[in-house]
Amino acid sequence: MSAKEAKAVRTRDEITPETLGLTHASLLEMYYCLRLARAVDERMWALQRSGKAAFVISGQGHEGAQVGAVYALDRDRDWLVPFYRSVAAVLLKGMPPAELFLIQLGRATDPSSGGRQMPGHYGHSRHKILSTSSPVATQVLHAVGIAYAAKVRGTGEVALTELGEGATSEGDFNEALNFAAVHRLAVIFLVENNGYAISVPVSKQMAVPTVSARAAGFGLPGVTADGSHVLHVYAAAREAVARARRGEGPTLLEVTVPRLTAHSSDDRQEKYRSADDIAHSKEIDPVRVFTEELRAWGVLTEERRREIEERVRREIDLGTEIAEAAPLPDPSTATRYVYAEPGP
């Protein structure tokens, strides 16, 4: 083993609940979030398969990255600028499952868009979650602008934005890194690298093995964390948030994650992914890995697991019920809010 490898292993060994100062309660909260996100996501697929929803785009496999990162934020004060896989992130940031199903089913009371956007386009001003669009990478600049505003206004807010590794090929991502570095803004670029942009493998997207390598050339730190291990992500994100809070500027935090589903319900991944690749993804599933880790650390008893499972199931069922009972939008509202309406 080379010295470098030894150091990497040591660093990873050092990431334990103890070294991070995480209580059992915190660990179980993270666990609950992972399970909840997975369950919400699975229900979204069920709704689609049963013909109730037109489309799903999934966060399965990305939960470790998102829970690890968002857990490091001040969830009341900081901003989340999400993307279409941000199921776990928006749940942890405060949106209840029912709201995600309202979005999924395009109901009038969908809090993100009133049924105007496709599933997966999250947003919620009260939770400081910026509205999501579909063009990839545009949101990265918005996060940077939010961080600039925070700096000028002295609010101490940090902005965390999420994107896929595919989106890092867009000009906007690079322009954002550059501007954030020049102004040392409190923004974290969370790149969830799942190895594919729909069908295009990373090897055809970029000539370097990691996205984080991009950071140095713009003058900000770049880190790659293993998204199968929630605490690895949490450790890296906590450091990035601390840096941002101290006014030392942005961090590019890449997290390697498995994509456990096809790109979306419109895709068939068997066409371009080998059976081995798909099988390997399942092995590094962060939910599975964290479950094992918590058991090994003696945090998760079988009883606790069942309790959480039960709670998640109830919440999902309740959320689905609420969403299914909610009305579809009335076409007479369709012309509203192209522009602000005059106040009362």
Ligand X SMILES: Cc1ncc(C[n+]2csc(CCOP(=O)(O)OP(=O)(O)O)c2C)c(N)n1
**Shortest reach from residue 189's CB to ligand X, in Å:** 13
Choose from its own copies, ligand X, Mg ion, none: what does 213 bind? Cβ within 5-8 Å by kind.
its own copies
Q: Following DSSP, what letter does each residue of 248-299 receive, concatenated? A: ---EEEEEE----S-SBTT--GGGTS-HHHHHHHHHT-HHHHHHHHHHHTT-
Instruction: Give the span between the Cα atoms of 15 and 143, in whole angstroms.
Output: 29
Q: Which of 242, 215, 231 is nearest to 158 (CA)?
A: 242
Specify the residue, 192 or 254, whose C-beta has the smaller distance to its own copies: 254
Q: Give how far the C-alpha of residue 265 lies from the chain's centroid of Cα atoms, to the nearest Å.
A: 19
61 binds Mg ion (CB under 5 A): no
User: Any contact of residue 265 with another protein (CB under 8 A)?
Assistant: no
Instruction: For residue 86, report the phi and psi dihedrals to the nearest 5 degrees.
Output: -80, 35
Contact segment (CB under 5 A) with Mg ion among 37-45, 88-96, 157-165, 208-216 equals 157-165
- Give the integer Cα–Cα distance in Å for 251 and 180: 9
Binding window for its own copies (CB under 8 A); candidates: 88-96, 154-162, 201-209, 269-277: 201-209
* Nearby residues of 274 by Cβ (< 8 Å), 6 or more positions away: none
Would you say 266 or 310 has its CB closer to Mg ion? 266
* DSSP H or E run through 312: helix 302-325
Which stretch in 109-117, 163-171, 215-223, 235-243 sits in contact with ligand X by CB under 6 A?
163-171
- Sole binder of another protein in the list 20, 46, 149, 213 (CB under 8 A): 149
The three-class DSSP label of residue 95 is coil
Q: Pick the closer one to Mg ion by CB: 201 or 247.
A: 201
Q: Does 204 interact with its own copies (rule: CB under 8 A)? A: yes
> Binders of its own copies among 230-269, rule CB under 8 A?
none
Q: How many helices (H) and strands (E) does the chain have?
A: 14, 7
Residue 333 is classified by DSSP as G
In angstroms, what is the minimal distance from the CB of 208 to its own copies? 4
Residues between 57 and 116 with contacts to ligand X, criterion CB under 6 A: 85
Q: Does 7 participate in binding another protein (rule CB under 8 A)?
A: no
Written as one letter, the residue type at 62 is H
Residue from 82, 164, 222, 249 binding Mg ion (CB under 5 A)? 164
**Minimum gap (Å) between residue 210 Cβ and ligand X:** 14
Distance from C-alpha of 127 to C-alpha of 117, rounded to nearest angstrom = 19
Stretch touching its own copies by CB under 8 A, among 204-212, 282-290, 300-308, 319-327 = 204-212
194 interacts with Mg ion by CB under 5 A: yes
> Does residue 142 touch another protein according to CB under 8 A?
yes
Binding mask 175-194 for ligand X (x = CB under 6 A): -----------------x-x
Q: Which two tokens stand for residue 113?
A: 């868009």
End-to-end CA distance of the chain: 71
For ligand X, give the closer residue by CB, 266 or 317.
266
- For ligand X, the closer CB: 91 or 244: 91
Residue 198 binds what, of ligand X, Mg ion, its own copies, none (CB under 5 to 8 Å, by partner type)? ligand X
State the number of CA atoms in the 13 A half-sphere of 164 facing the CB.
25
Q: Is 110 exposed, middle or buried (0-12, 13-18, 19+ CB in 10 A)?
A: buried
| Residue 133 within binding range of its own copies, rule CB under 8 A | no
**122 vs 189 by CB, closer to its own copies:** 189
Cα-only R_g, the chain: 20
- Name the residue nearer to another protein (CB basis): 110 or 226: 110
C-beta pairs of 271-275 under 8 Å, 24+ apart in sequence: 271/199, 272/196, 272/199, 272/201, 273/196
The listed partner (Mg ion, another protein, ligand X, none) that binds 9, CB under 5 to 8 Å by sort, is none
